Structure 1
Amino acid sequence: MEQQFVLPVIVIGGVVIFLIIFFHYVPFFLWLSAKVSGVRISLVQLFLMRIRNVPPYTIVPAMIEAHKAGLGTITRDELEAHYMAGGHVERVVHALVSASKANIELSFQMATGIDLAGRDVFEAVQMSVNPKVIDTPPVTAVAKDGIQLIAKARVTVRANIHQLVGGAGEDTILARVGEGIVSSIGSSENHKSVLENPDSISKLVLRKGLDAGTAFEILSIDIADIDIGKNIGASLQIDQANADKNIAQAKAEERRAMAVALSQEMKAKAEEARANVIQAEQEIPRAIAESFRSGNLGIMDYYRMKNIQADTAMRENIAKPEINPTANPLSE
């Protein structure tokens, strides 16, 4: 009795395990959904997807979506190849459907190439339909009159599908727009003309074709705000005047130092000459004594010389003004 009861349980358990394994490797209901949707795919192909580690629940819904959208050129092998290459099958199919509805030319090869290049192809198609607005950081520029202006711009861009692979991104757009703003303000005669006509900046920047080689097409550049900054010209003139003053002070100090050095040199020479005179005066008595011994100088010549010296001293004393030390110069 027990054997009769155990045998059906084993059979039922085996059947259940078989069905679980079968429905795991052969997604019957997914095949049925594809069949109802008009997508031709066999159970063997679904089983082989499992063997190749390709999820059928990713490939088959994508095939159904493409078939319902009228994209009959996309095959199962192409979707599998793109998945195994590391691509996003769902995003690619969504992008192709959106591009088809918006009359945007986008092939499967281009879409997969954009996706494998690391860009979100579905977002790119959405940006082609709905342009994106990019706000630039504050751009500082100086007009010819030396007044600094700080401008902010809003750039409206649309994705360029054909340039997404190999094209530059948003950073390049922002850099080029900032360069164009600086060039436009810098070529203005004065800051007032820029404040009066800010659209002149956007017109000049748009004429330069800044979107060349990028993944975007610039639709418009609008100046959102312009603020007045510092007076750079006056600051530069002040800095130049200070620099010139410092140079003049350095040159004057150099001349003063040279004059002081020359004065010290002249004093040294005067001291040297005075020392030579004193030394020469010290030699006079010796020379007179030697002249007495040699007979070249007589006693009368000596007294005559002394009289001349006394007469010279008396004349010098007479020529000097008389100074009374007790007199008060304020009382005179």
Structure 2
Amino acid sequence: MIEEAAGTWGLIVGVIVLLFIVLYFIPIGLWFSALVSGVRISLIQLFLMRFRKVPPGVIVRALIEGTKADVTLSRDALEAHYLAGGHVARVVHALVSAAKANIELSFNMATAIDLAGRDVFEAVQMSVNPKVINTPPVTAVSKDGIQLIAKARVTVRANIRQLVGGAGEETVLARVGEGIVSSIGSSHSHKAVLENPDFISRVVLEKGLDAGTAFEILSIDIADIDIGKNIGAVLQMDQAEADKNIAQAKAEERRAMAIALEQEMIAKAQEARAKVIEAEVQVPLAIAEAFRTGNLGVMDYMKYKNIMADTSMRDSIAGEGGKSKE
């Protein structure tokens, strides 16, 4: 009895496991859901999907959604897109949304956008509901030298045809910032910009900044403009400071040259004094030679000494008189 009971339980477990395996490889419930939803797909195809590493539930649900929305889909195309690494559900959602919004979007275009790494469903939603992008503060200087800081709001709509290979939001923001800088820089006065900020919007829109991007620019609105520094005055001050430094450097150069010339003249004067002293040394020798040769007598020598004494006295008197006057 025990052996018969164990065999019965073993048989039941085996049947349950076999039934689970059969239902896993042949999803009868999924096939029935597709049948009642109007999707014609055979059990053999659902069975073969397991071997092709394609989840039948993803493909069947996508076919059911497309059928209910009157969007024609191919099972082979959906399987190929899944095997290529795409998001089948996202592509089908985008196709259904595009069809309801009367937006032209083919299956090949949707799969290409999805495989390119962009969210095709979000792109369709953006085509229906435009997106507002806030630019960072853009700094520009008008011709009168006043710095202006502007912020803009860019309303864009996704361009389905340019999503593959088109530039993103960063490029749009960069182009808008460049246009704002150009338009403010061409203004003769910052007051004119503050009075008519829509001038910036018109100039920027006329440049066609959305060319080659994945978006279509609908409007550019200047949200805020603040006054920054007086760049013209700062530049003039810097130039004046630079000119002053140059003038000081040239004056210092001239002063150094004058000092060098003065030192040179002092050296020449010292050299001349040395020559005078050297000449004065020869006077006593000449007097002695005159005594030996008889050309100078004692009385002549005494007269010479008296003259020298008188000259020295006059010099001392003149020196004392000059000091008293001072």
Structure 1 length normalisation: TM-score? 0.91
AA in 2 matched with 1:20:
F
Higher deviation after alignment, 222-231 or 247-256: 247-256
Are 2:78 and 1:79 aligned? Answer: yes
1:153-187 deviation per Cα after TM superposition (whole angstroms, max 9, x unaligned): 00000111111111110000000100100011111
User: Residues of 1 paired with 2:179 and 2:195: CA distance?
Assistant: 18
| Aligned equivalents of 2:242, 2:45: Cα separation in 1 | 84
Q: CA deviation at 1:240?
A: 1.0
RMSD: 2.2
Q: Partners in 2 of 1:323 and 1:35 — Cα distance?
A: 136
296, 299, 305: which one aligns with 1:298 = 296
Deviation readout 1:85-112 (Å, 9 max, x if unpaired): 1111111111111111111111111111
2:255 aligned residue: 256
Structure 2 residue 30 is the aligned partner of structure 1 residue 55: no
How far is 1:2 from its partner?
4.1
* Secondary structure at the counterpart of residue 140 of structure 1: strand
* Aligned mates of 1:208, 1:324 — CA distance in 2: 89
Alpha-carbon separation, structure 1, partners of 2:233 and 2:268 = 52
Query: In 1, Cα distance between the equivalents of 2:101 and 2:300?
Result: 137
Report the Cα distance in structure 2 between the residues aligned to 1:323 and 1:159, rounded to whole angstroms.
102
Quote the residue 1:268 is aligned against: 267
Tell me what 2:286 maps to. Answer: 287
Give 1:32-181 correspondences, 5 Å limit: 32-72=32-72, 74-181=73-180
User: What SS does the aligned partner of 1:219 have?
Assistant: strand
CA contact (8 A) 2:287 2:296 kept: no
Structure 2 gaps, min length 5:
none
Structure 1 residue ranges without an equivalent (≥5): none
Return closer, same or farther for 1:284/1:220 CA change in 2, 3 Å cut-off.
same
Alignment of 1:193-232 (within 5 A): 193-232=192-231
**Post-superposition CA distance 1:267-324 (Å, at most 9, x none):** 11111211221121112211332344456x3327656655665665576677677469
Q: Alpha-carbon deviation of 1:37?
A: 1.0
Counting aligned pairs with the same residue, the percent is: 73
CA distance in 2, matches of 1:5, 1:304: 170
Kindly indicate whether residue 25 of structure 2 is the aligned counterpart of residue 11 of structure 1: no
SS of aligned partner of 1:96:
helix
Report the AA paired with residue 226 of structure 2: D
1:11 CA drift (Å): 3.1
Q: Aligned-pair distance for 1:13?
A: 2.4
Q: 1:282 and 1:252 mapped to 2: Cα distance?
A: 45
For 1:5 and 1:310, how far apart are their aligned partners in 2? 162
Residues paired across the two proteins, number: 325
CA distance in 2, matches of 1:126, 1:279: 110
Distance 1:168 1:29 in 2: 45
Instruction: Give the aligned partner of residue 20 of structure 1.
Output: 20
CA–CA distance in structure 2, aligned partners of residues 228 and 207 of structure 1: 25
**Shift of residue 77, structure 1, vs aligned partner:** 1.0
Indicate the larger mover: 300-309 or 139-148.
300-309
Cα offset for 1:257? 1.3
CA distance in 1, matches of 2:323, 2:218: 104
TM-score (norm 2): 0.92
